[in-house]
A and B are shown apart, each in its own frame.
Chain A
Amino acid sequence: MGESSLNLISVNKPQRINRLKRIALLRISSLLTLPICCFSHSLLAAQDFRFSGFITAAVAITDNEETYQGYNNEVNYGHDSIFGLQIDRRLSKDVRVSAQLVANDASDFDAAAEWLYIHYQISPTLEFRAGRLRLPIYQASQHIHVGTSYLWVAPPPEVYGQAPFTRYHGFDLIHRTQFDDVVLDVQFFSGRVEDEFRFFGTYLTGESKELYGINFITEGDNLRTRVTYVDTNFRITATPPLEFSVKFMTVGLQYEIGNWETMFEWARRDTDALPIGLSSGAYLTIARSIGDWMPYVTYAFQESDDDVPAGLKPNTKSVTVGLRFDDVNGLVWKADLHHGKAEDGEAGHFTFANATNLPEDPTVNLLRLTVSTVF
């Protein structure tokens, strides 16, 4: 995942990070007051606002003392726990504004705006959104924080971990074509990313001034397909700064037949920065619903090209067995057991590993439990 390679870059530690965080928060709060000011005259009409939210409480532990994907052999409550609140308001028949505030481990449980945008329905087939948006690069990336909206305890990091940032400032245009029983969405998005992100344990600030992407999504009654391509230049603020171009491509398939469900995604990240290089990953999930229960199994892997220095390759394989249960109170309970193995002599998904600091045992068992709901 390149996370290990980035440990090579020294970062000016806490003070700088705290300052950046403060700036980010200030920026968020100023962004927030903007739409609120716009319609403060109608604040009294509270029924026009729609509040909704989601929450996940999580616990996780591994059997390996080396940190793996951010988990280790001490009980961890934070990694997958999250709280989110969304506020929507319709301004006219075709215009609405939306804000989604999220507090999670990645933000040290400070609330940060994950979404903040204006949505304009230009015509029945054309939508435009502008503001702070989530990067639409995976099947579930738009609603990754909402535990009830997908099957897994957490999306497979062999694929979902390849892009460390989740949101951008900019716009998107979605063109929708309705065929007999299939919908085709073509989404163009562009903007800039400027975010503090965490490469498995290390806080870094990165920015991308130019980001262009296109998405082709088809959705039928049983089959959903997706192809995404993103082209950007990325700069990591570190000493010395690291600047490189990134070409990112993903393919996704989701097929449902009767009580069976299959999901597949493949992602390829091609950079011209040597320590990160080229990496690709994929997963396959097969699930079956039995009443309110849904057991599933996932196989996933990630590999990189030979140019990536030995010991830093994110090469890994994993098998996950999990179970989702939707109870009568609207709570969704999930548990999974993940068995991962780093390639011999490589860091794999061990967070702090490198050529001179390889885990004694390259295999790991990870147990996770979550309970989620929406309101």
Chain B
Amino acid sequence: MKLLLVKIISTSSAFIALFFLICSSLLSTRVIATEIAIVVNPGNSIEALNQDDVRRIFLGKLRNFESGKKLHVSNLPDDAPLREEFYQRLTGHSAKKAKSQWAAYAFSGLVEFPQECASEEDLISWVNKNEEGIGYINVESVTDRVKVVYRLGTNND
């Protein structure tokens, strides 16, 4: 009886392990990378940024430019797939990790909290209204209400 139980448990756990293995491999190929545009206010004199700058800006490390320019970061909602993809591709870590780092800076008074936007349209309107605004959206959502300063391409991984 006991032996049978052990057998059942071991075979079923082997099946469960196999199931998770298949699931995880499916998941890892699931993401079809989109090109992400980093956008600022059209009135901003910044024309282009490089990826290091973009990473430091969205991790709260680069706050002021020599020219006296400031940037105010905006985010898509916590559960937006593009948010996770953006931080993963940009920093190699999760959006959660970036959020935890922002909590450290913002509650220390070193930098303002990022603007949390409800959707891409919302983010575009906010960046359009705020001279210091910077955000990220799907390249296909770009309109003339914002200016693209960097494209996080699919080959940047």
Contact = CB atoms under 8 A, between A and B. Distances in A.
Task: Determine if chain A interacts with chain B.
Answer: yes
Interface of A: 50, 52, 54, 84, 86, 88, 90, 93, 96, 98, 100, 115, 117, 119, 121, 123-125, 129, 133-134, 140, 142-143, 145-146, 148-150, 176, 178, 181, 183, 219, 221, 289, 292, 326, 330, 332, 374
Given A86-B107, A176-B64, 15 more contacts: A52-B107, A98-B109, A119-B109, A124-B66, A124-B67, A124-B68, A125-B64, A142-B104, A143-B107, A146-B104, A148-B103, A178-B66, A221-B56, A289-B93, A332-B100
Contacts of A54: 103, 107
B25 interface: no
B98 to A, nearest CB: 11
- Residue of B68, B100, B101, B109 with most partner-chain A CB within 10 A: B109
Contact of B107 (A90, A96, A145, A330): A145
Contacts, number: 81
- Residue of B55, B63, B106 with most partner-chain A CB within 10 A: B106
Interface in B38-92: 52, 55-56, 61-70, 78
A143 B104 contact: yes
Contact of A143 (B62, B70, B93, B103): B103
- Residue of B104, B108, B113 with most partner-chain A CB within 10 A: B108
Contact of B61 (A90, A100, A183): A183
5 contacts: A90-B112, A129-B109, A183-B62, A289-B93, A332-B100
- Residue of B55, B63, B67 with most partner-chain A CB within 10 A: B63
A86 B65 CA distance: 27
B67 A149 contact: no
Given A178-B62, A181-B52, A326-B96, A149 B104 contact: yes
A254 to B, nearest CB: 11
A124 B67 CA distance: 7
B138 interface: no
Interface of B: 52, 55-56, 61-70, 78, 93-94, 96-97, 99-101, 103-110, 112-113
A176 B111 CA distance: 13
Nearest to A94: B70
A326 B99 CA distance: 11
Contacts of B112: 50, 88, 90, 96
Contact of B104 (A117, A140, A181, A289): A140
Contact of B113 (A50, A146, A150, A181): A50
B21 to A, nearest CB: 15
- Residue of B63, B78, B93, B103 with most partner-chain A CB within 10 A: B103
Nearest to A114: B107
A326 B104 CA distance: 16
A26 to B, nearest CB: 24
A124 B103 contact: no
A289 B97 CA distance: 10
B91 to A, nearest CB: 9
* 9 A-B pairs with least C-beta separation: A142-B108, A149-B104, A149-B103, A124-B64, A143-B104, A326-B96, A143-B107, A146-B107, A143-B108
A211 B70 CA distance: 32
A100 B108 CA distance: 10
A134 B100 CA distance: 20
Contact of A52 (B66, B94, B99, B113): B113
B108 A88 contact: no
Contacts of B68: 123-124
Given A150-B104, A181-B52, A124 B94 contact: no
A178 B69 CA distance: 14
Nearest to B72: A90
B103 A146 contact: yes
A181 B70 CA distance: 18
B107 A292 contact: no
A52 B109 contact: no
B94 A292 contact: yes
A339 B70 CA distance: 47
- Residue of A145, A150, A374 with most partner-chain B CB within 10 A: A374
Nearest to B93: A289
A218 B94 CA distance: 24
Contacts of A123: 68
A88 B112 CA distance: 8
B101 to A, nearest CB: 8
A149 B78 contact: no
B63 to A, nearest CB: 8
A124 B65 contact: yes
Contacts of B100: 148-149, 326, 332
